[in-house]
Structure 1
Amino acid sequence: MVNELLATKRSTYEKLLNPNIKGKEKLEKVYRAQKAELQKELRRLKDTGWSNLSEEIQASYERKYIKNVYGVLRQAVGPQSSTYVPLKSKDGNEVIKDPPGIMSRWREHFVELFHNPSLVNMDVINNIPQRVIMQHMDDAPSIEEVKLSIRKLRSNKAPGLDGIPAEILKASRDHISSEIHSLLCQV
């Protein structure tokens, strides 16, 4: 069926290539219709093929033929190509093509990349100006600060990690603020 559609489309196209043909607009419409029909048939065949393949996979899975499931999946995906991309040696003069040599070169590259000694000068780090330590930040917040924080929560936002929406916290601010305060004091 597809070969016949393809042959008719091809012959119509060859007629269209003739510059002296009469009724070119009509022939172009015929060509577009033939092209659409061919694409429709190809899509139908492709869908049928995928449907048959999925039914075969499903049937194998239901019968617990797992080996066949993976075999059909491999058939659908196609063969796995295990080609190795050649690499240049460290000095760039030689091309490495064998798999063990390629792995060795990658190992050498990553060892060089990640296992370098630190080049940090400790004198520079020690000369960085230090900020004043704010001891009052270590103190637990007061109940008033907890209430103020709850009141400042923005409504209609997604809840945080605890899953509690801000609206619930705001509605029970007076009752829940002491519980939150005691929880914060424990931390």
Structure 2
Amino acid sequence: MSTRSGHHSKEQPAEYSSNSSKRLLTHCLNTTAGPVTLVSMYASTLSATSDTKDEFYDKLATSISSILRKEQLVILVYKRSPSKRNLQILQATNEYWTELSKTIQTTAITGNIRGMYDEIKTAMGPVQNKTAPLKSTTGEVIVDKGQQMERWVEHYSEPYSRQNVVTTTALDVIECLLVIEDLDTKPTTEKLSKAIDSLASGKVPGSDGIPPDLIGHCKIVLLLPLHEILYQCWIEGAVPQDEIITLYKNKGERSDCNNYRGILLLSIVGKVFARVILVPLCRNSTQSHSVISKLKDQQ
């Protein structure tokens, strides 16, 4: 940065006057070489409003126009002379984003999809949760929280309350499957132990906050208490109520329940219980799939 100013006389010190604002600082020096005006400015950023930018440039134009032609003008631009602190901040910011980009690239190359999405979430920042009042089946806006919950219950119960009519021709095509006697047998500790061993590590815990790694490491201690709960659910024919999370499909009105996708959130223990039931069902999945395909062709 260079300035054009006269040398001060040793016998006579320079006289000066100043005028300052938030982003504009003006100094007028009377030297032996003549008057010198220094203007130090810090321009408005790109994110500033139009009114703020206009106000800054109006003040700058007024300050420059008031300077006489015979005076020397020196403009000090802040952006051309960043401070050491700002340079350190800029360098640290660049290093952070470079390291984060390398981490995302490494996780993508190594196949760590979960780690890749976690780092992308870090880069994107927190997601804002947007809510909107729901509408009833008749189009009325529901504001009350309790009535909104009842609307969600009605929405998700409707698909299971419909009575489907199946033609006689389709029923005649259905093959009689073998009776899966294994489904009637009570769950054993061996089946529960295998279900716990099949849990994938590193998964997000459920609503109870218990991660799968904890259940896997403490299997010896938790096996019998979990089996007692599973056996009780088996005898009563009911399981603890699960939690349904509604996810917006990013299209359509937010007040319409049909524009949401419901996800059933099971706890890790609930997933273990579900796997105990799922294993014997999968043994006959091939035969069941062929029957379902024939049933669809007849509909």
Q: TM-score, normalised by structure 1?
A: 0.34
Higher strand share: 2
Higher RCO by CA contacts (8 Å cutoff, separation 6 or greater): 2
Q: TM-score, normalised by structure 2?
A: 0.23
Higher helix share: 1
